[in-house]
Structure 1
Amino acid sequence: MALSGASNYKAETVEAEVEIKSNSGKLFKLISNQHHDVPKASSDNVHDVAVHEGDWETSGSVKLWKYTLDGNVETLKEKVEIDEANKLVSLTALEGSHVLEKYKSCKIIFQVTPKSEGGLVKITLGYQRLNENDPPPHKYLRFLVNVIQDIDAHLLKE
């Protein structure tokens, strides 16, 4: 796992890359339109995902997530956009406890790159700080890395 960051106060990003051993197509399907399976794959982190608007499979649908980060239960309402051709999934935060208390905006982008065996998942977390003294959202990035690793391990057991 590699972490890096770029900062210019207006729009910032932190990134990580996760090598996966499972089938990259199955992992992309799970993170793009099978969100209901994420709590089963990463039960220590994600407790529930529900459709708020739309459905499980369509870009523009809105989901409500319940998860635990650093011992605290948080919620996030997000809008999903799916780019099948580029194996890209983006989740834009609309409402949520904790994350939107420190950041004006938050967008998570997963890009899955297949390899002959397994693949690579690049996670980009774009954000805007509300206060310049707030730290970059590295804890959220680590959380997302853990979820992808859990999903990878879950898919390897299938």
Structure 2
Amino acid sequence: MANQVETLVASTAIKCPADKFYNFFKFNMSDSVKIFPAAFTGAEIIEGEDGTVGCIKLWHYIIGIPLTVKVLTEEIEDAAKTIKFVALEGDILLLYKSFKATLTVSDGLAKWTFEYEKTTILSPPPELYVPLAITLCTLVDAYLLIN
């Protein structure tokens, strides 16, 4: 089987201003731990700083079981309100040879695009990340509307 990169998209409506939502994920994404503690149990910067390309964070999260992932902020495009994250290490790389998550924010919409390459033909699509992303966006949107 030839390895190929596959894509999965999760999008949801948002009510807060696109700039405010985008800047949360650019500069304050670690606050996801206090906004969505049922899923995100820890986040620490390993290298660099929030809001910059090259920042590496170690995330602790739960999707049925506790998991960890070390994530690199690979790309930030302010004009397009897009941030691209790449998994460097962690549990997700047991199922996928590569895993990238791109957040694109526009007026009224937040969209996550997951690009992944399966480790084996038996690796499932990362469908469990869709409700995680949508719930995170919904909770962040609600948080930003009152803060």
Normalising by the smaller structure, the TM-score range is over 0.9
Structure 1 length-normalised TM? 0.86
Match of 1:3 in 2: none
Within-5 A mapping of 1:1-158: 9-70=3-64, 72-80=65-73, 81-97=75-91, 99-114=92-107, 119-158=108-147
* Distance of 2:16 and 2:38 partners within structure 1: 20
Unaligned runs of 5+ in 2: none
Q: CA deviation at 1:146?
A: 1.4
Q: 1:90-120 CA distances to partner (integer Å, 9 max, x unpaired)?
A: 11000012x1111000000000012xxxx10
Displacement after TM superposition at 1:157 (Å): 2.3
Work out whether residues 10 and 133 of structure 2, in 8 Å CA contact, stay in contact via their aligned partners in 1. no
Aligned length: 145
Using the alignment, how far apart are the partners of 1:79 and 1:131 within structure 2?
A: 24
Aligned residues with identical type, % of pairs: 31
Separation of aligned partners in 1, 2:135 and 2:27: 19
What's the offset of the Cα at 1:9?
5.0
- Provide, for residues 4-38 of structure 1, a one-character-per-residue CA deviation record: whole Å limited to 9, x for no partner: xxxx8511000021101122211101111212222
Read off the aligned partner of 2:136 and give its amino acid letter.
V
Q: Deviations over 1:55-98 (max 9, x none)?
A: 1121111111111112x11111010121111100111000012x
Three-state SS of the structure 1 residue aligned to 2:111 is strand
CA distance in 2, matches of 1:105, 1:142: 20
Residues 125, 141 of structure 1: 8 Å contact kept? no
